[in-house]
Amino acid sequence: MSKSRAPAQEPSEIPSQRERIRSHMKMVIEQLEGILIELKDVAKELRELLFYYISLCLNR
């Protein structure tokens, strides 16, 4: 049974390729962490607005 494989790469290219992938993954994770922080801030603001709106409705 033969399995298709990608052509073998030079040993010096493998760490470089892995480092590029690792660097890209780190960048993506940092971006996602930033987005998560922004989403948490938006959720907090929406929660505050909701409580404010509810208090206005109850005081009518």
pLDDT at position 57: 94
Model pLDDT for residues 1-60, shown as the tens digit of each residue = 556 665 665 556 688 999 999 999 999 999 999 999 999 999 999 999 999 999 999 998
pLDDT at position 49: 97
The residues near 17 (Cβ < 8 Å, ≥ 6 apart) are 9
Quote the radius of gyration of the chain (alpha carbons, Å).
Answer: 25
pLDDT at position 60: 82
Tokens of 1: 């049974």
Alpha-carbon distance 47 to 51, whole Å? Answer: 6
